[in-house]
């Protein structure tokens, strides 16, 4: 199940940092610190069998602290198989990324049925522009390693929105966010056309009303498989103000849909 948990955190790591729009993108788009709650359910297209069940919640919070972006997310997913066996999966991620891309801190963990599974904690620091960074890890083990110049999660999302706003249809990049491993991951993003209100009930969420959005498909390449296929895939509906209204992913081979149910705007800190 680990890869599926990673996939979910990855999708929101990408969309989480979304937010200040570059000059080439839509001028109305701005970074919006927010707290969102998503209902997780079995995607009807794949089904789960007559007696199986899948349900859960994911809470995602993006905050602006002037010097960087803080992201906190927590999810719980209850899965019941057709034979009646049930399991509880939980995962959380807390990160901080400097707005100038000079550093990135993270703490990521997951559990099954109350037993702690994987934990990752570390910090990546780029001492100067254009130079390799130094990753110092505390969990799962202490160590240090060099990381080449790649995009951090917020930087990647900024690129996504800018390139989509400029009419590009595909964007390939190397990013580091530590959700998969202590190494960069290649991600291919494919953009759908811009849609007014993103085909969601924008009237239920005032910050989304009148804001354009687009469908984004992600393919994650972790192990460089011989046949060139991605390790996992995801898709999201991404608004130009950084809010994600829905996400599709697989968990243990089951198609899961995450639907926005609650959205709260957060006040940014007053910066000098």
pLDDT tens profile 202-242: 557 888 888 888 899 999 988 777 777 888 889 999 888 88
Predicted TM-score of the model (pTM)? 0.82
Which is more confidently placed, 200 or 103?
Answer: 103
**Per-residue confidence (pLDDT) for residue 217, from 0 to 100:** 94
pLDDT tens profile 128-175: 888 999 999 999 999 999 999 999 987 888 788 788 888 899 999 999
Sign of CA dihedral 247, 15, 171, 20: positive
**Per-residue confidence (pLDDT) for residue 6, from 0 to 100:** 41
The residue to which tokens 């680990």 are assigned:
2
- 122 pLDDT above the threshold of 70: yes
* Contact in structure between 208 and 246 (CB atoms under 8 Å): no
Output the average pLDDT for the chain. 81
**Per-residue confidence (pLDDT) for residue 72, from 0 to 100:** 94
- 17 pLDDT above the threshold of 60: no
Write down the domain spans for the chain: 2-265
Element (H, E) at 165: helix 153-165
Chain mean position to CA 82: 30
Q: In terms of Cα–Cα distance, which of 104, 102, 21, 36 is closest to 70?
A: 104
Mean pLDDT within 70-84: 87
Structure tokens given for 268: 């940014």
């Amino acid at each position: 199940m680990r890869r599926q948990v990673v996939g979910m955190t990855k999708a929101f790591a990408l969309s989480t940092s979304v937010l200040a729009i570059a000059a080439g993108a839509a001028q109305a788009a701005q970074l919006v610190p927010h707290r969102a709650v998503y209902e997780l359910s079995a995607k009807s297209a794949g089904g789960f069998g007559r007696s199986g069940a899948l349900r859960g919640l994911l809470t995602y919070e993006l905050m602006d602290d002037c010097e960087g972006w803080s992201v906190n997310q927590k999810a719980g997913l209850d899965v019941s198989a057709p034979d009646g066996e049930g399991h509880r999966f939980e995962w959380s991620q807390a990160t901080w990324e400097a707005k100038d891309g000079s550093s990135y801190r993270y703490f990521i963990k997951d559990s099954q049925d109350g037993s702690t599974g994987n934990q990752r904690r570390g910090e990546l620091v780029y001492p100067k522009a254009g130079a390799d960074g130094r990753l110092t890890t505390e969990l799962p083990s202490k160590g240090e390693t060099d990381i080449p110049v790649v995009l951090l999660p917020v930087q990647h999302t900024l690129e996504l929105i800018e390139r989509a706003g400029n009419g590009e249809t595909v964007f390939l990049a190397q990013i580091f966010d530590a959700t998969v491993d202590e190494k960069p991951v290649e991600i291919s993003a494919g953009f759908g056309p811009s849609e007014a209100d993103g085909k969601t009930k924008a009237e239920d969420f005032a910050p989304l009303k009148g804001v354009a959005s687009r469908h984004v498909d992600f393919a994650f390449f972790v192990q460089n498989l011989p046949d060139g296929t991605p390790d996992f895939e995801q898709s999201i509906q991404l608004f130009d103000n950084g809010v994600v209204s829905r996400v599709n992913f697989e968990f243990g081979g089951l198609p899961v849909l995450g639907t926005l149910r609650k959205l709260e705007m957060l006040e940014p800190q007053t910066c000098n």
